[in-house]
C-alpha cells in the first residue's frame, strides 16, 4: 500500500516550494509547478497541491503498478468495503470558527470568490446511519459560512430528506484527508456503500475518530476538519467558478453551510486542487476509467485500458485500448462505455499498439485505421454532462459519437504495421 496521509506524501515527494498571494498567486504557483507536487507559502499558511497530478501517485495510493491492477484494486475496494479502526486519540485541536484564518485561495479571474476545492463532506443519513463522503466545491460567503455546490447525488439526497423534516443537517468538511479517501469519495459508489469503508479497504489500516462530531467518523490523519451544519432551506448564490473543462460554470442558488468549529493539526497543510488542472483531471477521471473498463470488459474480451483524455477535460472523451477478436466488438465496447459513464461524449477504440496518452498516435489511428461511413456512429439526444457548455444545459441532453479506430480484420495485418528503424548492431 502506498501513501496514506498528506504529510507522508509530501515528506517523500521532494516537492517544489513557492510563495504566493491567496488571490491568484497560489493558483499561478500551482499551475507553474504541474505536475510536480508543490507547497505554497501564503500570508495565512501553507497550501499543498498537485498530489494526484500523475497516474504514478494514483497507482501508488492504490498499491498498483499498472492500469489493470489499479482498476481491479479500486473495484475490489468498492465491492468489499471494510470499517476503519476507531480510535480516541488524535492530534486535531480547536481553532475557532473563522474561515478567513485558513489559506483559502481564489483561483481564476472571474471566480465568485475564495473556494475550498479539496473539501470532503461527511454527512449521516438519519434513516439508515449511512455516512456519505463526497467532494464538493465551497465558496466562502462570510467568516463562518459557505455556499456549497451540491449536485443531485448522495449528499443531495441526504440533505433533501433532512430539509423536508425541517432539520439542519450536521456535516464535517475534511481538508487534507487520507489520500485513499479522496479516490473513494471521487468514485461515487451506490447509496449506502460508505466511501470511508471503501478507503479503509484500499488502505488496509485506516483509522477514524468520533470525537469531532457525533455519529460521524472522521478518518485520520486529516489536516483540517470543519464541523458545522447545512441550514435547512437556506440558499445563497454560488458561482461563477471554473470547473474541470476550464470554462466557467454558471451561478446557482446553493445550500448554505454554517461553520461551528474548525479543528486542525499544528501548522496544517491546506490542500487545494487547482480547478481544471492535471490533479483535478486525474482525481475525477480515474474512478470513471475503472468503471468504464469494468463494464466494457464484460461486453467484449480484450479490453486493456481506458483513458479519459486531457483534451476531453478528463471527463467528456475516452480512448479505449482493446485487442479486437471480432468485427463489431469495438462498437459494443463503445456503447458500454457510454452506459458506464453517462457524461461521456466521444469514445474511440484503438488497438494495443496505440498509446492512449499520445494524442498524435490516436489521431494516426483515426487516419489509417478508420473509415467514417463504416466506423463512426452517432447517438442523438442522450443524457450528457452539465459540465459541457455545448450541450442542452436545461435538459442535460447531448449527441454522442463512437469511433472504431481499430485495424479491420479482413485486411492483411502488414498494411497497418508501424515502421521501425532497427537499433544499431554491436560487436
CATH code for the domain of 201: 2.30.110.10
CATH no. for residue 304? 3.40.1670.10
Question: 87 with 62, same domain?
Answer: yes
pLDDT at residue 321 in the model: 98
pLDDT tens per residue, range 350-384: 999 999 999 999 999 999 999 999 999 999 999 99
The yes-or-no verdict on residue 2 having pLDDT over 80 is no
The Cα 203–Cα 198 span in angstroms is: 9
Question: 385 with 404, same domain?
Answer: yes
The yes-or-no verdict on residue 3 having pLDDT over 80 is no
Residue 344 structural domain: 279-409
Question: 65 with 82, same domain?
Answer: yes
Domain boundary among 274, 299, 322: 274
The yes-or-no verdict on residue 291 having pLDDT over 60 is yes
Question: 235 with 151, same domain?
Answer: yes
Half-sphere CA count of 379, side-chain side, radius 13 A: 21
pLDDT tens per residue, range 257-279: 999 999 999 999 999 999 999 99
Question: 179 with 37, same domain?
Answer: yes
The yes-or-no verdict on residue 1 having pLDDT over 60 is no
Give domain status of residue 1, yes or no: no
- What is the distance between the terminal CA atoms of the chain, rounded to a whole angstrom? 44
Cis before 35? omega within 30: yes
What is the band of 427 on the pLDDT scale with cuts at 50, 70, 90?
Answer: low
Region 295-309: what's the mean pLDDT?
A: 95
Give domain status of residue 203, yes or no: yes
What average pLDDT does the structure give for the chain? 95
Question: 212 with 255, same domain?
Answer: yes
pLDDT at residue 30 in the model: 98
And the C-alpha cell for 246? Answer: 476550464
Question: 197 with 331, same domain?
Answer: no
Give domain status of residue 336, yes or no: yes
Max mean pLDDT among 84-93, 165-174, 411-420 falls in 165-174
Region 176-194: what's the mean pLDDT?
A: 95
Question: 265 with 327, same domain?
Answer: no
Question: 304 with 345, same domain?
Answer: yes
The Cα 308–Cα 283 span in angstroms is: 11
Element (H, E) at 208: strand 207-213
Question: 220 with 71, same domain?
Answer: yes
Give the residue numbers annotated as catalytic, written as ranges. Answer: 243
Half-sphere CA count of 287, side-chain side, radius 13 A: 21
pLDDT at residue 388 in the model: 87
pLDDT tens per residue, range 123-162: 999 999 999 999 999 999 999 999 999 999 999 999 999 9
Question: 228 with 287, same domain?
Answer: no
The answer to whether 149 and 116 are in contact (CB under 8 A) is no
Share of the chain above pLDDT 70, in %: 99
The Cα 47–Cα 34 span in angstroms is: 14
The dihedral built from the CA positions of residue 147, 220, 265 and 50, taken in this order, carries a sign that is negative
Domain boundary among 274, 299, 333: 274
Region 40-62: what's the mean pLDDT?
A: 96
The Cα 217–Cα 287 span in angstroms is: 23
pLDDT at residue 394 in the model: 81
Q: How many domains does the chain have?
A: 2
Give domain status of residue 247, yes or no: yes
Site of grid cell 485495424: 407
Task: Render the burial of 380-419: b for 16+ CB within 10 Å, e for the rest.
Answer: eebebbebbeebeeeeeebebbbbbbbbeeeeeeeeeeee
State CA 168 to chain mean position distance: 28
What is the band of 425 on the pLDDT scale with cuts at 50, 70, 90?
Answer: confident
Give domain status of residue 420, yes or no: no
Query: Out of 184-198, 253-267, 412-426, which region has the weakest mean confidence (pLDDT)?
Result: 412-426
Region 197-210: what's the mean pLDDT?
A: 94
Phi and psi, residue 242, nearest 5°:
-80, 125
Give domain status of residue 30, yes or no: yes
Give domain status of residue 414, yes or no: no
Question: 139 with 51, same domain?
Answer: yes
pLDDT tens per residue, range 101-119: 999 999 999 999 999 999 9
Domain boundary among 257, 274, 291: 274
C-alpha angle with apex 109: 108 to 110, nearest 5 degrees?
100
Site of grid cell 463512437: 402
Give domain status of residue 379, yes or no: yes
Nearest Cα neighbor of 282 from 202, 179, 423 is 179
Region 296-310: what's the mean pLDDT?
A: 95
The Cα 62–Cα 69 span in angstroms is: 9
Amino acid at each position: 500500500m502506498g501513501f496514506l496521509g498528506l504529510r507522508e506524501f509530501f515528506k517523500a515527494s521532494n516537492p517544489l516550494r513557492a510563495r504566493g498571494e491567496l488571490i491568484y498567486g497560489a493558483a499561478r504557483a500551482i499551475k507553474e509547478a504541474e505536475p510536480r507536487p508543490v507547497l505554497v507559502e501564503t500570508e495565512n499558511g501553507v497550501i499543498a497541491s498537485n498530489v494526484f497530478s500523475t497516474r504514478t501517485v494514483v497507482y501508488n495510493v492504490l498499491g498498483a503498478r499498472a492500469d489493470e491492477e489499479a482498476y481491479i484494486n479500486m473495484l475490489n475496494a468498492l465491492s468489499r468495503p471494510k470499517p476503519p479502526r476507531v480510535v480516541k486519540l488524535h492530534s486535531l485541536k480547536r481553532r475557532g470558527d473563522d474561515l478567513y484564518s485558513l489559506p483559502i485561495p481564489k483561483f481564476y479571474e472571474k471566480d465568485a470568490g475564495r473556494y475550498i476545492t479539496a473539501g470532503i463532506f461527511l454527512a449521516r443519513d438519519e434513516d439508515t446511519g449511512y455516512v456519505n463522503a463526497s467532494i464538493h466545491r465551497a465558496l466562502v460567503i462570510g467568516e463562518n459560512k459557505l455556499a456549497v455546490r451540491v449536485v443531485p447525488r448522495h449528499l443531495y439526497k441526504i440533505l433533501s430528506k433532512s430539509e423536508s423534516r425541517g432539520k439542519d443537517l450536521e456535516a464535517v468538511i475534511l481538508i487534507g484527508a487520507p489520500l485513499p479517501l479522496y479516490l473513494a469519495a471521487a468514485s461515487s459508489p451506490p447509496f449506502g456503500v460508505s466511501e470511508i469503508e471503501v478507503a479503509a479497504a484500499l488502505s488496509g489500516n485506516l483509522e477514524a475518530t468520533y470525537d469531532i462530531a457525533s455519529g460521524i467518523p472522521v478518518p485520520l490523519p486529516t489536516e483540517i476538519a470543519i464541523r458545522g451544519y447545512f441550514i435547512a432551506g437556506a440558499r445563497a448564490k454560488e458561482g461563477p467558478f471554473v470547473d474541470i473543462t476550464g470554462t466557467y460554470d454558471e451561478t446557482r442558488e446553493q445550500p448554505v453551510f454554517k461553520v461551528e468549529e474548525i479543528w486542525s493539526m499544528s501548522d496544517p497543510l491546506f490542500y487545494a486542487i487547482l480547478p481544471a488542472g492535471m490533479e483535478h483531471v486525474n482525481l475525477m477521471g480515474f474512478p470513471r476509467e475503472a468503471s468504464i473498463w469494468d463494464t466494457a470488459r464484460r461486453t467484449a474480451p480484450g479490453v486493456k485500458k481506458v483513458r479519459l483524455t486531457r483534451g476531453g477535460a478528463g471527463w467528456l472523451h475516452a480512448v479505449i485500448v482493446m485487442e479486437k477478436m471480432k468485427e463489431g466488438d469495438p462498437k459494443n465496447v463503445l456503447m458500454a462505455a457510454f452506459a458506464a459513464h453517462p457524461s461521456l461524449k466521444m469514445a474511440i477504440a484503438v488497438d494495443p499498439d496505440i498509446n492512449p496518452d499520445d494524442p498524435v498516435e490516436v489521431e494516426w489511428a483515426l487516419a489509417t485505421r478508420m473509415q467514417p461511413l463504416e466506423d463512426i456512429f452517432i447517438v442523438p439526444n442522450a443524457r450528457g454532462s452539465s459540465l459541457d457548455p455545448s450541450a442542452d444545459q436545461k435538459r442535460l441532453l447531448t449527441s454522442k459519437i463512437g469511433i472504431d479506430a481499430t485495424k479491420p480484420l479482413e485486411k492483411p495485418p502488414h498494411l497497418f504495421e508501424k515502421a521501425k528503424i532497427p537499433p544499431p548492431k554491436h560487436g
